[in-house]
Amino acid sequence: MSTRILVVDDEPVVVQSVRSYLEAAHFEVVAAYDGREAIAQFEAHAPDLIILDWMLPKMDGLTFAQHIRQRSNVPIIMLTARVEEDDRIAGLESGADDYVIKPFSARELEARVRAVLRRAEGGASNTFEVGPLHLDREQRRVQVHGQAVELTAMEFDLLAFLMAQPGRVFTRLELLEAVRGDAYGGFERSVDSHIKRLRQKIEPDPHEPSLILTVFGVGYKLSKGGGA
């Protein structure tokens, strides 16, 4: 069965260009031209990956990405003309896995698609249990001592990655590239703010963390025993 990609853009020429190239690369492509239609196509076709424009009628790309992240871990690549650092960070926080700037190279887009799909396939397990933490990637749910906690897309993905390899130390750049790809290579310090907010939601005492530990001069790790 071929990999199915949902392309969402309000410019027909962009949709046709992306469709033609990806179909030539043996992907199956479905299209939508606004945010509401994109939701309908997502529900009808269950795509393996979404290529998403930011500026859409009826529902913008960020809102659509946040909507999808409430129900699915499907990879999302933002395809947009917005180039500012704040825009990229906003795309990351909405749940995008990669960020491609218009105008774009079709070959680069295909390479990004394949790289994001490889990363998505890399996480075989859908559930993790470490100490008081329970995480279900399929349902995108987290519990601490049996109590559900609400996380942003970035917080969830960081915690899932750390829980997959408890005790291992990761640099900020490794964490960011693992959950969002090398498109965000210049923003590794933003990991600190996400970790801080994540600790506030899952740690018994965020000021004395026992679950997500700082390794000074390196980065972060999840306590192998899951804290106290």
Q: For the residues of 193-223, what is the DSSP string, one character each? A: HHHHHHHHHH-SSTTS-SSEEEETTTEEEE-
Please give the average per-residue pLDDT across 91-108, as a whole number. Answer: 81
Please give the average per-residue pLDDT across 134-148, as a whole number. Answer: 89
Domain ranges (residues) in the chain: 4-122, 127-222
**Assigned CATH topology for domain 4-122:** Rossmann fold (3.40.50)
228 — pLDDT class (breaks 50, 70, 90): very low
pLDDT of 121 strictly over 70: no
Which residues, 6 or more positions from 107, have their beta carbon under 8 angstroms from its beta carbon?
Answer: none
pLDDT reported for residue 147: 92
**Assigned CATH topology for domain 127-222:** Arc Repressor Mutant, subunit A (1.10.10)
- pTM higher than 0.85, yes or no? no
Helix 61-69 / helix 85-94 crossing angle, nearest 10 deg? 30
202 — pLDDT class (breaks 50, 70, 90): very high
pLDDT reported for residue 188: 61
| Average pLDDT for the chain | 85
Of all residues in the chain, the percent with pLDDT exceeding 70 is 89
pLDDT of 182 strictly over 60: no
Please give the average per-residue pLDDT across 157-178, as a whole number. Answer: 87
Closest CA to 69 of 141, 169, 163, 123: 141
CA 211 to chain centre: 22
User: pLDDT higher for 211 or 120?
Assistant: 211
Specify the pairing of strand 4-8 against strand 28-32.
parallel
Please give the average per-residue pLDDT across 72-81, as a whole number. Answer: 85
Alpha helices by DSSP H, listed for the chain, are 12-24, 35-45, 61-69, 85-94, 106-122, 153-164, 172-180, 190-202
Give the highest mean pLDDT range of 15-29, 94-108, 183-197.
15-29
